[in-house]
Amino acid sequence: MTINWTKLLCAASVAIVTIAATASVAEAAQPLGPGWCKGFKIRFFAGGDEGDTFGAVVAAGGVQAGVDTGADVEVVYSGWNSEKMVQQFREAVAQQVGGVAIYGFPGTAALTPVAEDAQKAGVLVNYMNSPVPDVTKEFGGGFVGVHDLAAQGKALADEAIKEFGLKSGDKAAVFVPINQKERSAREFGTVDEFKAHGMTVEEIPNKDTYGGEPNQAIPVVTAVIAKIPDLKVIAYAGGQELGNAEAYMTAAGKKAGEVINIGFDASPQIIDGFDKGWIQLTADQQPFLQGYLPVVNLCQQHVLGLTPIDVETGAGFINKDNYKTVGALAQRGLR
Measure the CA–CA gap between 318 and 316, rounded to whole angstroms.
Answer: 7
Per-residue pLDDT tens for 168-178? Answer: 999 999 999 98
Q: Is residue 19 part of a domain?
A: no
In a domain, 7, yes or no: no
pLDDT tops 70 at residue 133: yes
Residues 219 and 258 in one domain: yes
Same domain, 207 and 179: yes
Q: Are residues 133 and 240 in the same domain?
A: no
Are 117 and 130 found together in one domain? yes
Same domain, 263 and 276: yes
State the average pLDDT over residues 186-196.
Answer: 97
Task: Please check whether residues 193 and 308 belong to one and the same domain.
Answer: no
The pLDDT of residue 25 is above 70? no
User: 130 burial class (0-12, 13-18, 19+ CB within 10 angstroms)?
Assistant: buried
Give the domain range for residue 262.
149-284
Query: Is residue 154 included in any domain, yes or no?
Result: yes
Shared domain for 305 and 231, answered yes or no, is no
Instruction: Report residue 276's pLDDT band, with 50, 70 and 90 as the boundaries.
Output: very high
Predicted confidence at residue 317, as pLDDT, reads: 95
Residue 271 to residue 259: CA distance in whole angstroms: 17
CATH of the domain at 158: 3.40.50.2300
- 154 and 67 together in one domain: no
**What gap in Å lies between CA 92 and CA 117, rounded to an integer?**
11
Domain count within the chain: 2
* Res 4 pLDDT > 60: no
- Cα-based torsion angle of the residue sequence 256, 261, 265, 269 in order, rounded to the nearest 10 degrees: -30
Are 298 and 182 within one domain? no
114 and 192 part of one domain:
no
Mean pLDDT computed over 45-69: 93
Confidence of residue 53 (pLDDT cuts 50, 70, 90): confident
pTM score, whole prediction: 0.84
- Whether the per-residue pLDDT at 186 is higher than 60: the answer is yes
Residue 2 belongs to a domain: no
Asked if residue 178 and residue 276 are part of one domain, the reply reads yes
For the chain, give the mean pLDDT. 91
Asked if residue 16 is part of any domain, the answer here is no
Of 89-98, 256-265, 321-330, give the lowest mean pLDDT range. Answer: 321-330
How confident is the model at residue 14, as a pLDDT? 44
Are 169 and 246 in a shared domain? yes
Residues paired with 311 in a beta bridge = 144
3-state secondary structure of 89: helix
Q: Which amino acid, one-letter code, is at 175?
A: F
